[in-house]
Amino acid sequence: MSSASSASSSSSVRPSTPGPNSPNALETLLPFLLASKRSLSTVEHVYRANDICASTRTALEKSAIVTARTSFLRSGVASQLNVLQKVWQQTESTAAHVTAEYQDVLASLDEAETRLRNTLSSLQETVVEAKLRPVDEAPRSLLDFVDESGVEGLVTSIRADLKESGKGFEEFQKDNKGFENEVQKVKGILDKQQRSGDSQSADDLNTGVDHLPEVLADMEELAREMAVNLESLVSHFDLCVTAIKHTEGGGDAAVKIAGDLPHGVEVGQHPQEAPSELISDEQRGEMMRVLREDADQVSEVVLEIESHSTQIVILSQGVEALTASLFQRSREINDAFKLLENLGHRLPNHITRSQAYQIRWDGEQTRIVARMEELENAKSFYDDFFRAYHNLIIEIGRRKTLESKRNQIIEEARSKLEQLYEEDVADREEFKNEHGQFIPVDIWPGLLDLPGRFLIEPEDAVVETVPDISKSVIHKAIRRVHG
């Protein structure tokens, strides 16, 4: 737009320009003045632009501080998180190791108890041969000859110890799980800030922060252009007021129309003030020419100011979104840092509890394994008892066989001795009949004696009696012992 000074420097006058006393002059100037006054309301856009630029500059300063602080905290949090993850992995490894050992011990106990139950069942199913027991005694199994209450109590005691160890392990796992959840919360915050999606990624934010000075410079340039355009509108308004004041009857109109200007607008001439000096018709004609040219540009300048204002608002919204994201990330990192502080306070106790539980479990495992060895020894004793009983049956069979052989030999010996006796008696009688009458008796007094008779008797006063066990029972015993 042209300035007011250009009106005073030109001396040319357009023939169609109304004179100062022309009835059309005021009618021509009043629309110019009204339009010029309306255009001055764009001062609000200029002030708003200045406020936005100032707030953006402040946001830029805060963003730089927040970005540096967030970056520092994020680096520290990530470093400490690695340490905490290693601690958790170590305690989780301890938990996994203890779990495996606990399950192994439990499985071993189940297997040992199953084997013991099978052995006791075999003892219960094996009825002692009646020939081995008193005649009036009721049938008894091998289980009746052992005290199973001891092993039952041992199994119950071991399971109670394992149950108690399981409770301690559950408490340990609960503590470890709580620690893991806190670590995962911190990790989740860092992972969230690394993921791209609805929110900007870390690289996008850093890039946006780096571009903030350029955005601010663009906003300030737009604001400066708005201010320049506002100055041109004010100059146009001043020129309109001046022209009306130098027009007959225009003073009252200038006061009525331009008396209440928008707040913050400073004009060169107040409508109520009288003209400082008179101007010539040529000067007034030039002034009217400039006003007509400028009036055609007023709406364009207003639109340009409004467009710049819209651009500044859009840029500021982007800055606000970016700074809001930065501050949100800062709050998240601060939350993560607070979680780390809490974990840091808990870390020594957590490590101590992990070590204490490992030591406690090692001791409990040693005691439980030792008692399980007692259980295995009891089972082995019952197995030996079971085998010994069947070996007893085999031994009875062996003795019975030997007894039969011995009795056979004795009978054979008795028969041969009796045969020898009878032969001896016959031979002596024959000798006596043939030669006895010729031999004096006093030559050998024993000549007429009968031969001696011999008995086969046991040396001990008590003779062993071997129970009469059937061969089928003995064969079953042999199959059980030797497979």
Residues 367-400 have pLDDT tens digits of 999 999 999 999 999 999 999 999 999 999 999 9
Name the strand (E) or helix (H) holding 418: helix 281-435
Indicate the helix (H) or strand (E) that contains 441: none
**What pLDDT was estimated at residue 375?**
92
The answer to whether residue 18 scores a pLDDT higher than 60 is no
Structure confidence at residue 240 (pLDDT):
80
Give the pLDDT confidence score for residue 241 in this predicted structure.
78
Tell me whether residue 85 is exposed, middle or buried, using C-beta atoms within 10 angstroms of its C-beta: 0 to 12, 13 to 18, 19 or more. Answer: middle
Q: How far apart are the C-alpha atoms of 129 and 101, rounded to whole Å?
A: 45
Q: How many helices (H) and strands (E) does the chain have?
A: 8, 0
Which pairs with CB-CB distance under 8 Å and at least 24 residues apart come from 372-379? 372/105, 372/108, 372/109, 372/112, 372/158, 374/154, 375/109, 375/112, 375/113, 375/116, 375/151, 375/154, 375/155, 375/158, 376/112, 378/116, 378/150, 378/151, 378/154, 379/112, 379/115, 379/116, 379/119, 379/151
Domain boundaries, the chain: 4-379, 386-482
Structure tokens at 325: 């994201």
Q: Which residue would you say has higher pLDDT here, 8 or 327?
A: 327
Q: Kindly compute the dihedral angle of the four CA atoms of residues 240, 246, 250, 255, in this order, to the nearest 10 degrees.
A: 60
Question: Which amino acid, one-letter code, is at 164?
Answer: E
Instruction: Write out the two tokens for 111.
Output: 């297997």
Q: Is 264 left (phi over 0), alpha (psi -120 to 50) or beta?
A: left
Q: Residue 134 pLDDT > 60, yes or no?
A: yes
Beta strands in 327-456 (DSSP E): none
Amino acid at 19: G
- How wide is the angle at C-alpha 226 spanned by C-alphas 225 and 230, nearest 5°? 115
Mean pLDDT for the stretch of residues 130-139: 90
120 pLDDT more than 50: yes
For residue 378, count other CB atoms closer than 10 A to its CB. Answer: 21
Which residues, at least 6 apart from 336, have a Cβ–Cβ distance to it below 8 Å?
73, 77, 185, 186, 189, 190
pLDDT score for 335? 87
Kindly indicate the confidence band of residue 306, based on its pLDDT and cuts at 50, 70 and 90.
very high
Model confidence at 472: pLDDT above 70: yes
76-117 per-position pLDDT tens digit: 888 888 888 888 888 888 888 888 999 999 999 999 999 999
> Is residue 456 within 8 Å of 414, Cβ to Cβ?
yes
Q: Mean pLDDT score of the chain, rounded to an integer? A: 82
Paired with 260 in beta bridges are: none
- Confidence category of residue 249, pLDDT binned at 50, 70, 90: low
